Amino acid sequence: MYRYDKYDQAIVDARVEEFRDQARRRLAGQLTDDQFKPLRLKNGLYLQLHAYMLRVAIPYGTLDSRQMRMLGHIARKYDRGYGHFTTRQNLQYNWIKLEEAGDILADLATVEMHAIQTSGESIRNLSSDQYAGAAADEVCDPRPWAELIRQATTFHPEFSYLPRKFKIAVTAANEDRAAIRLHDIGLKLVKNDDGELGFEVYIGGGMGRTPFVAPLIRPFLPADHLFSYIEAALRVWNRNGRRDNIHKQRIKILVHDLGQEEFTRQVEAEWQEILKNGSDVPRAEFDRIAAYFEPPAFETGLSDDIDRSDPDFALWVDHNVKAHKAPGYAIVNISLKPVGGIPGDATAEQIDLMAGLGEKYSFDELRVTHAQNIVLPHVRKADLYALWQVLDENGLATANLDLISDIIACPGLDYCSLANARSIPVAQKIATRFADLGRQRELGELKLKISGCINACGHHHAGHIGILGVDKKGTENYQLLLGGSGAEDASLGKITGPGFNEDGIVDAVERVTDKYLAVREDGERFLDTYRRVGFEPFKEAIYG
């Protein structure tokens, strides 16, 4: 894992002081609310329905037990004893006082954490594959590149006030667990025919009101030029992106308006200019960063056998434990989706517990997933049963990874000032309707994603089944979408038709799953069946 040196620490410490000063001037009336808003947003502080919300950056979703414990400490000391893991692998607190925000940042800085650029019209904290460094199917660990970009995009002066937010995701595996093609820039590490490392560069994806799957803008970017190429794309957008309508200011709109070919031409031309600046981070610095991500000292000669005599444990292994590249090790997913719970929420006690388990069983490493779960990336198979027992005693062993109750949901109208409808109760009702794990397993992989408004923080466009909450003449109404995917086969869901009330949407989901069970062929996931038979049979099942 990356560790700060004196320079990183000095920059984060300076940011704490800067934000304290800005908050002080706001509280003293020297900054208007309009002037303060972009400043606090650049530091992850939103004003929500009931209080300030603070979003803490967890760069590319990786953290150690010391950092995880700090998240628990902050939840207890400054919030109401819990936090919410987000779809961008961050953590947010819902009940923050402006007066205490500076103290929280100071606490975070003691464990090499911050809230820099977690919101606002800035280059956001970037996301990556939660199995990075552990997955068998990756070209190499993508996180050194992610860390390099984290640093290079932190306080980038030219991009101080971009037209809108800007999200980057990087992966190095064929299975896309980071939804890269639904980002402003999606990066996939590949090797060319000469064995050289580079990136496939996708630009202009996104969800929100106008979703797009990003086109491939450059099939092979030499890895050493990653940063200058990102700068070129940002500059083209910063200069030419719309600024007259907040809903049309993301880079995806510029890519769409110019067309892929013209956008690519402009970025390539700008890149030739930017290359003259020598802004690319040199290989020696990459090597310095990469040294922090050397694989841990895996034991050799371990057995791959797992004692499956406890049936509940065996079920959990089947669903929540994934293949690791080192013999004798496994990747463990801790579900934060118990039936009836709030997707992605964890109490301070659970956060502490997971920190301890990461320390004891996973080389002191934890990951946050974009599906709002936690991963222990490097667990000895011999330790799985002991680990599972602790998780099970603490309500953290729900064996539902990628099943219908492993729901992604935004905070919705329970917290969010942008929302039109509540997301959490719908997630809870669906999880309760399908509470029988046997039934969930029968349905197989089924990614259900709920957003409480068109901004799509709950990724409804990318759900195999998506739900979008809207406001219909003052009442909450839910539209159903089918056929989305955020994986390597990225696609956008299609709205089925008229929406439903809260109970109606649960019934509609059940009619969809019943139809799937009736028409699926051997080995098909829901998404496969949908793609084979098309939209109509499901529409008919829903609306009769």
Partner 1 sequence: MGDLKGNAHVAVPQGLRFRDDDPAEEPAVTLDAFLDQSNSSAVRLEAGEDARRLLPHLDHIALIEIDFPRFRDGRGYSSAQILREAGYTGELRATGDVLVDQIDHMRRCGFDGFAPDKPIDATVLAASLNRYRYRYQTAADGAVPVWKLRHG
Q: Residues in the site for partner 1, rule: CB under 8 A?
A: 5-8, 10-11, 14, 17-18, 21-22, 25, 30, 35, 38-39, 121, 151-152, 154-163, 235, 238-239, 243, 273, 276-279, 281-282, 284-285, 288
Bridge partner residues of 52 (DSSP): 47, 96
Q: How far is the CB of 226 from partner 1 (least distance, A)?
A: 13
Q: How far is the CB of 234 from partner 1 (least distance, A)?
A: 9
Q: For residues 5 and 194, which CB has a smaller minimum distance to partner 1 in the complex? A: 5
Q: How far is the CB of 39 from partner 1 (least distance, A)?
A: 6
Sequence-distant (6+) residues with CB within 8 A of 305 are 381
Run of H or E including 482? strand 475-482
Say how far apart CA 544 and CA 61 lie, in whole Å.
43
Rounded alpha-carbon distances, angstroms, from residue 439 to 32, 117, 263, 443, 514: 55, 42, 47, 6, 11
| Under 8 Å between Cβ of 111 and 67 | yes
Backbone phi and psi for residue 82, each to the nearest 5 degrees, phi listed first: -155, 170
- Which of 418, 395, 368, 303 has the alpha carbon at shortest distance from 49? 418
Q: For residues 120 and 358, which CB has a smaller minimum distance to partner 1 in the complex? A: 120
Q: For residues 10 and 386, which CB has a smaller minimum distance to partner 1 in the complex? A: 10
| Cβ neighbourhood burial of 276 (10 Å; 0-12, 13-18, 19+) | exposed
Q: How far is the CB of 81 from partner 1 (least distance, A)?
A: 34
Residue 50 in tokens = 């009931």
Q: For residues 36 and 415, which CB has a smaller minimum distance to partner 1 in the complex? A: 36
Q: How far is the CB of 204 from partner 1 (least distance, A)?
A: 19
Q: How far is the CB of 267 from partner 1 (least distance, A)?
A: 14
Q: How far is the CB of 484 from partner 1 (least distance, A)?
A: 32
Q: For residues 34 and 522, which CB has a smaller minimum distance to partner 1 in the complex? A: 34
Q: For residues 237 and 313, which CB has a smaller minimum distance to partner 1 in the complex? A: 237
User: What's the half-sphere exposure (Cβ side, CA atoms, 13 Å) at 482?
Assistant: 27
Q: How far is the CB of 435 from partner 1 (least distance, A)?
A: 47
Q: How far is the CB of 14 from partner 1 (least distance, A)?
A: 5
Q: How far is the CB of 507 from partner 1 (least distance, A)?
A: 45
CA-CA-CA-CA torsion sign (287, 288, 289, 293): positive
| Under 8 Å between Cβ of 398 and 339 | yes
Say how far apart CA 353 and CA 93 lie, in whole Å.
18
Q: For residues 120 and 452, which CB has a smaller minimum distance to partner 1 in the complex? A: 120
Alpha helices in 241-378 (DSSP H): 251-258, 260-275, 283-291, 311-320, 348-361
Sequence-distant (6+) residues with CB within 8 A of 93 are 53, 54, 56, 74, 75, 78, 79, 83, 84, 104
- Which of 128, 142, 252, 179 has the alpha carbon at shortest distance from 489? 179
Q: For residues 231 and 406, which CB has a smaller minimum distance to partner 1 in the complex? A: 231
Say how far apart CA 2 and CA 144 lie, in whole Å.
8
Q: How far is the CB of 279 from partner 1 (least distance, A)?
A: 5
Q: How far is the CB of 144 from partner 1 (least distance, A)?
A: 13
Q: For residues 248 and 367, which CB has a smaller minimum distance to partner 1 in the complex? A: 248
Task: Classify residue 23 by its DSSP letter.
Answer: H
Q: For residues 37 and 441, which CB has a smaller minimum distance to partner 1 in the complex? A: 37
- Which of 480, 485, 491 has the alpha carbon at shortest distance from 541? 480
Q: How far is the CB of 159 from partner 1 (least distance, A)?
A: 7
Task: Classify residue 445 by its DSSP letter.
Answer: S
Q: For residues 38 and 296, which CB has a smaller minimum distance to partner 1 in the complex? A: 38
Q: For residues 30 and 417, which CB has a smaller minimum distance to partner 1 in the complex? A: 30
Q: For residues 115 and 508, which CB has a smaller minimum distance to partner 1 in the complex? A: 115
For the chain, counts of helices (H) and of strands (E): 17, 20
Say how far apart CA 488 and CA 213 lie, in whole Å.
11
